[in-house]
Amino acid sequence: VTPTGAPSDTSAAGDAPPRWREIALLGYTVRVARGIAADAGSIIASVAPAHRYAIVSDETVASLHLEPIRRALGATTGDEAIITATIPAGEHHKTREQWAAVTDLLLARGCGRDTTIVALGGGVVGDLAGFVAATYLRGVPWVQIPTTLLAMVDASVGGKTGVDTAAGKNLVGAFHQPACVIADPALLRTLPERQRRNGLAEVVKHGIIADRAHLEAALHLAQAIVAGDVQSDDVDSLIASSIAIKADVVRRDERESGMRKVLNFGHTIGHAVETASAYSLLHGEAVAIGMVHEARLAESLGVADAGTAAAVEGAVARVGLPTALPLDLDVEAVIAAMGADKKARRSGIELALPVRVGEMAERAGEWSVPAAVGDVRAVLTGGAR
Ligand SMILES: NC(=O)c1ccc[n+]([C@@H]2O[C@H](COP(=O)([O-])OP(=O)(O)OC[C@H]3O[C@@H](n4cnc5c(N)ncnc54)[C@H](O)[C@@H]3O)[C@@H](O)[C@H]2O)c1
Ligand SMILES: [Zn+2]
């Protein structure tokens, strides 16, 4: 992470100008600083200049944060250049129907190829608006302004866009890198507490897979972040380092194919728990449970050093995320959701597992480890403890 200059229009008033941190990624940068959203207009107009700007948001985020962004952009580009498209909030609306509604609006308003899409919202808006940008007139530039912690440290990094279908999540989509990501932690003040904690799961994950010091910083700041105390240099720094960890993996995966799998830590079991809970658990909550159980599995397989599972469980608990399966969740339903009931009975389940906090298991360029279904079942039922 390279701290770089100050946002464009810093006044010479007594306060030190807010500096932003910058992470370079696949031809664009992620800029992190509390208050940087006030500069969105000049940043967007300089990284993705266009004739028209279409801000895509959801109803909840729009009611809280659209107006200042629209004004900031309008001051640079003129109000007449701006179109806003708002979708209903929630994962249920990350659909082809909403993709069609937004693209139809852009067509009706006569937006041409010189249109920049601005995604203002959480991962749902980012994925959907990014997919609009990837496909509208075969692709137009876009800028992301993530408004959830999960979107800042995870969804807005890596260029994956897409929508859900009845057959599953994220099944229709495209890679389309944004021109810039503008991450303003001050926007997280309005986020519900449960959603802030949800995003911390991925922050903690980044520490476990790559950087013990990052995990320590996350645990140190967790309480403040959950409480909505998000406007400090320490929080800017934590979010920037979390993005840098994911960015580093994404970048290295271009050469070392398969390394991206380490980002999947906690997700093999986590996704299955999320599905088996019928989405009553948020993604980060399910991943938290997944990380605890995958760390136990790593220890029981002799992959991880003794004490790793306890460290992971301690970290998850300290953030206030769940460590145990919900009591009413059937272990066999979790196994089934892993797709492991039939196909993996012979070959086992592949998981990205830690060796210790800060380091993931790697064998001959492979970043996953096979486990027998019985071993996974044992940790889920508590048999391995
Ligand atoms: N593209 C990727 O690489 C990637 C990676 C991880 C997750 N994702 C996707 O991200 C999505 C989840 O993202 P999410 O957790 O941000 O969910 P989300 O976008 O649904 O946001 C969660 C809720 O918080 C509200 N909200 C957002 N910002 C707010 C704010 N500042 N103040 C108040 N309320 C606010 C939203 O309206 C929504 O109700 C999933 O669809 C997932 O598939 C994508
Ligand atoms: Zn995740």
pLDDT digits over 66-123, tens only? Answer: 999 999 999 999 999 999 999 999 999 999 999 999 999 999 999 999 999 999 999 9
294 sits in which H/E element: helix 283-300
Of 267, 293, 296, 356, which one is the catalytic site residue? 267
Which residues have a Cβ under 8 Å from the Cβ of 24 and sit 6 or more positions away? 2, 247
Instruction: Please report the atom of ligand 1 found closest to the CA of residue 89.
Output: 37
Distance 148 CA to ligand 1 centre (A): 6
Instruction: Please report the atom of ligand 1 found closest to the CA of residue 90.
Output: 20
**Catalytic (active site) residue 202:** yes
pLDDT of residue 251: 87
CA gap 101, 357 in Å, rounded: 45
112 sits in which H/E element: none
As a whole number of Å, the end-to-end CA separation of the chain is 39
pLDDT of residue 39: 95
**Catalytic (active site) residue 271:** yes
Ligand 1 binding pocket includes 148 (Cβ within 6 Å) = yes
Q: Whose CA is nearest to atom 33 of ligand 1?
A: 191
CA gap 46, 131 in Å, rounded: 22
Ligand 1 binding pocket includes 202 (Cβ within 6 Å) = no
Per-residue pLDDT of the chain (385 residues; tens, 9 = 90+): 655 544 444 444 455 555 799 999 988 999 999 999 999 999 999 999 999 999 999 999 999 999 999 999 999 999 999 999 999 999 999 999 999 999 999 999 999 999 999 999 999 999 999 999 999 999 999 999 999 999 999 999 999 999 999 988 899 999 999 999 999 999 999 999 999 999 999 999 999 999 999 999 999 999 999 999 999 999 999 999 999 999 999 988 766 568 899 999 999 999 999 999 999 999 999 999 999 999 999 999 999 999 999 999 999 999 999 999 999 999 999 999 998 655 555 678 999 999 999 999 998 888 999 999 999 999 999 864 4
3-state secondary structure of 175: strand
Ligand 1 binding pocket includes 60 (Cβ within 6 Å) = yes
pLDDT of residue 348: 83
Nearest to 160 by CA among 172, 145, 174: 174
pLDDT of residue 26: 84
Distance 338 CA to ligand 2 centre (A): 15
pLDDT of residue 87: 98
Residues 61, 159, 250, CA angle at the centre, nearest 5°?
125
pLDDT of residue 11: 42
Ligand 1 binding pocket includes 184 (Cβ within 6 Å) = no
Nearest to 132 by CA among 70, 25, 57: 57
**Catalytic (active site) residue 246:** yes
φ, ψ of residue 162 to 5 degrees: the values are 160, 180
Distance 284 CA to ligand 1 centre (A): 11
Q: Which ligand sits closest to the CA of 246?
A: 1
Side-chain half-sphere of 72: how many Cα atoms within 13 Å?
A: 20
* Count of beta carbons in the 10 Å neighbourhood of residue 139: 12
Residue type, 358: G
Cα 55 to its chain centre, rounded Å, is 20
Ligand 1 pocket, mutate which of 160, 181, 195, 239 (most atoms under 8 A from CB): 195
Distance 23 CA to ligand 1 centre (A): 21
The structure tokens 């469980």 sit at 313
DSSP result, 302-324: T-SPTTHHHHHHHHHHHHT---S
Helices and strands of the chain, counted as H and E runs: 15, 14
φ, ψ of residue 244 to 5 degrees: the values are -65, -35
**Catalytic (active site) residue 256:** yes
**Catalytic (active site) residue 260:** yes
Ligand 1 pocket, mutate which of 124, 165, 250 (most atoms under 8 A from CB): 124
Two structure tokens written together for 221:
């700041």
3-state secondary structure of 286: helix
Instruction: Please report the atom of ligand 1 found closest to the CA of residue 149.
Output: 16
CA gap 218, 320 in Å, rounded: 12
CA gap 113, 99 in Å, rounded: 17
Which residues have a Cβ under 8 Å from the Cβ of 321 and sit 6 or more positions away? 197, 200, 201, 204, 284, 285, 288
Residue type, 112: G
pTM above 0.85, yes or no: yes
Look at the alpha carbons of 169, 171, 172, 176 in this order and tell me if their dihedral is positive or negative. positive
Torsion of CA 99, 100, 103, 108, to 10 degrees: -150
Distance 22 CA to ligand 2 centre (A): 23
Burial (CB count <10 Å: 0-12, 13-18, 19+), residue 375: middle
Give buried/exposed letters for 339-367 (b at 16+ CB in 10 A, else e).
ebeeebeeebbbbbbbebbbbbbbeeeeb
Residue type, 352: A
Are the CB atoms for 73 and 82 separated by under 8 Å? Answer: yes
